[in-house]
């Protein structure tokens, strides 16, 4: 008699197959779609070309009237093959689904699930698109895609900047194709849009992007890192056109954003992309902007900002006895942090009846960002970061924008400045540099911190980002708040060991996109006022034209003699 056949394994496999068939699978990307007035038609055009098996998850955020029942589920279901659902609290996000925000609710994503919250209107403005997109950026990073369609106002502008900073993709409806161009115009003005097209064209580019063979290819990332020759060509083009050397920026940041540009330009090979850069100089500018993306906001990292303000800024202001209190915001982007410091300073000075000049130097590499900063004009979405009291005291409403009041703007001076190459400011009481050092390799981080040490007065405050530290510079700073990354200068900046000063051979650079470096023998061993002046002079002159350089002080005493030679450059101390 035959033994009965053991079917346990077969049944188990069958159960597993059925479970996989029934259970949802994780989307390849998460797409947040923002729309307002005139958005229904744009939404229908956007979803019509998208197939039911695209592998994406969509969350549509609209400005809905609280007084009328939304029929969007029924209307959109007739225009798309995807499954359309009204979002519910705790609902898990599945691929090939569209989730619609209900009226009177704000929506966030957390651990792959939707979180609903009753809307609370602030200053008459609710910004549900910004709220969702910012949570999407934080939750999904490079898998986040933000889409802005027709609508009035500027909701979504802050959210797409957060998505771009996290490594995601941004798509915006073209102004001319939108019934209401307020939201598209505000989104385009941020400078972070990867595509600006009609809704149906955006849908096609979305599909092209997520199905691109290079998307999420780890092996390709490693190949890019190992191809030093091609990377050097890209860095050379960037330096030639912008004056900025990205060689020592964090490789992970560079490669991630370079990959995205390659995909957007439909280039599968780095050699093809380098050739594309040579043939299209505008792409060099776009890549430069992508590498410099800096997202900031008023009162960013509110807990850390409160500790910094109440415990340390207030103390330094109250103890100040000189004619001018000086602060430096390094990497200020579009200026929100600089104005935050100005507002906080003004509040403290009024509270404690303090009267002296305050000057805030706010610097960045991005000229376009500095234009925005200098104007002090921001979209209505800033109301999400500011209390009604501060909005009323320090901002003037102009249409759907707010402008920083004149007396706050007068406290801030914006300037283009290269933190690594340009000389630092001096006699600073406070320096903030938040979420900039994380993009630099250790050698540049140390260089920047050396500059900060030189710039700060003794006991001056250094305020870094939450993911940054002083690293090897512990003998120059004491730690005030380890969690909030707040430090005090020990006053040893004048003895900081400097780096060798490099002098670009500008004529060769202009012709070949390469740079010849001359060594300084002996190297500058101290960062002091004289050596900084010498550094700037050397950056500005051509050794072929000037055979000998003398640097003198105000009394015409010779401080340095610098004879230029063909193979090297020698800097000597005083000869008189």
Copy the structure tokens of residue 274: 């380098």
Torsion from C-alpha of 24, 26, 27, 33, nearest 10 degrees: 80
Which candidate, 499, 451, 493, places its Cα nearest to that of 476?
A: 493
Scanning 425-513, the segments in alpha helix (DSSP H) are: 442-455, 506-512
Residues 114, 93 contacting (CB under 8 angstroms): yes
Chain mean position to CA 146: 16
Scanning 243-335, the segments in alpha helix (DSSP H) are: 251-264, 270-279, 281-291, 302-307, 314-319
Q: Which of these is catalytic: 63, 97, 417, 476?
A: 63
Residues 6+ apart with CB under 8 A from 312: 461, 480, 486
Active-site residue, 314 included: no
Residues 527, 249 contacting (CB under 8 angstroms): no
Q: How far apart are CA 186 and CA 402, in angstroms?
A: 13
Q: How far apart are CA 91 and CA 377, in angstroms?
A: 38
Q: How far apart are CA 102 and CA 106, in angstroms?
A: 8
Q: Which of these is catalytic: 29, 97, 155, 314?
A: 155
Q: Which of these is catalytic: 29, 36, 181, 455?
A: 36
Active-site residue, 297 included: no
Q: How far apart are CA 322 and CA 330, in angstroms?
A: 23
| The Cα angle at residue 343 between residues 340 and 349, in degrees rounded to 5 | 140
> What is the torsional sign of CA 15, 20, 24, 25?
positive
Using DSSP, state whether 574 is helix, strand or coil.
coil
- To 10 degrees, what angle do helices 39-47 and 199-210 make? 40
Active-site residue, 63 included: yes
376 exposed, middle or buried (CB, 10 Å; 0-12, 13-18, 19+)? Answer: buried
- To 10 degrees, what angle do helices 270-279 and 251-264 make? 70
Active site members: 36, 63, 155
């Amino acid at each position: 008699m035959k033994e009965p056949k053991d079917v346990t394994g077969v049944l188990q496999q069958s159960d597993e197959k059925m479970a996989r068939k029934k259970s949802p699978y994780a989307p390849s990307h998460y797409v947040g779609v923002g729309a307002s007035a005139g958005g229904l038609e744009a939404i229908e055009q956007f979803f019509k070309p998208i197939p039911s098996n695209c592998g994406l998850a969509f969350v549509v955020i609209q400005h809905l009237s609280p007084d009328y029942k939304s029929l969007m589920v029924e209307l959109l279901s007739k225009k798309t093959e995807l499954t359309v659902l009204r979002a519910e609290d705790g609902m898990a996000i599945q691929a090939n689904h569209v989730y619609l925000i209900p009226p009177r609710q704000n929506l966030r994503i957390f651990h792959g699930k939707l979180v609903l919250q009753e809307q609370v209107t602030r200053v008459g403005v609710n910004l549900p698109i910004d709220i969702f997109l910012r949570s999407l950026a934080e939750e999904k990073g490079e898998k986040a895609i933000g889409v802005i369609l027709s609508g009035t106002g500027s909701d979504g502008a802050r959210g797409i900047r957060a998505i771009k900073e996290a490594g995601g993709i941004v798509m915006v409806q073209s102004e001319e194709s939108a019934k209401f161009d307020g939201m598209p115009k505000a989104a385009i003005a941020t400078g972070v849009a990867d595509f600006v097209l009609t809704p149906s064209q955006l849908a096609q580019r979305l599909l092209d992007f997520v199905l691109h063979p290079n998307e999420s290819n780890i092996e390709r990332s490693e190949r890019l890192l190992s191809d030093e020759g091609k990377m050097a060509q890209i860095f050379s083009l960037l330096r030639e056109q912008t004056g900025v050397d990205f060689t020592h920026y964090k490789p992970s940041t560079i490669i991630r954003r370079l990959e995205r540009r390659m995909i957007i330009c439909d280039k599968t090979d780095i050699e093809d992309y380098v050739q594309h850069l040579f043939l299209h100089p505008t792409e060099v500018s776009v890549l430069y902007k992508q590498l410099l993306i800096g997202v900031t906001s008023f009162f960013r990292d509110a807990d850390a900002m409160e500790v910094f303000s109440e415990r340390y800024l207030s103390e330094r202001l109250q103890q100040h006895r000189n004619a001018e209190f000086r602060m430096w915001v390094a990497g200020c982007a579009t200026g929100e942090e600089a104005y935050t410091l100005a507002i906080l300073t003004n509040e403290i000075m009024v509270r404690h009846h303090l009267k002296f000049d305050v000057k805030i130097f706010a610097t960045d590499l991005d000229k376009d960002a500095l234009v925005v900063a200098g104007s002090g004009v921001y979209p209505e979405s800033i109301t999400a970061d500011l209390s009604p009291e501060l909005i009323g005291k320090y901002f003037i409403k102009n249409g759907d924008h707010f402008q920083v009041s004149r007396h706050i703007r007068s406290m801030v001076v914006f300037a283009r400045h290269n933190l690594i190459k340009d000389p630092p400011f001096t006699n600073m009481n406070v320096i903030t540099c938040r979420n900039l050092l994380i993009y630099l390799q250790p050698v540049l981080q140390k260089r920047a911190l050396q500059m900060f040490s030189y710039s700060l007065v003794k006991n001056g405050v250094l305020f870094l980002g939450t993911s940054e530290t002083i690293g090897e510079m512990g003998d120059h700073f004491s730690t005030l708040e380890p969690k909030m990354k707040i430090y005090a200068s020990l006053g040893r900046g004048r003895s900081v060991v400097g780096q060798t000063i490099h002098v670009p051979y500008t004529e060769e650079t202009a012709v070949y996109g390469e740079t010849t470096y001359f060594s300084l023998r002996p190297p500058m061993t101290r960062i002091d006022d004289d050596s900084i002046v010498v550094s700037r002079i050397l950056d500005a002159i051509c050794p072929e034209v000037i055979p000998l350089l003398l640097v003198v002080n105000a009394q015409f005493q010779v401080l340095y003699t610098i004879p230029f030679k063909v193979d090297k450059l020698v800097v000597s101390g005083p000869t008189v």
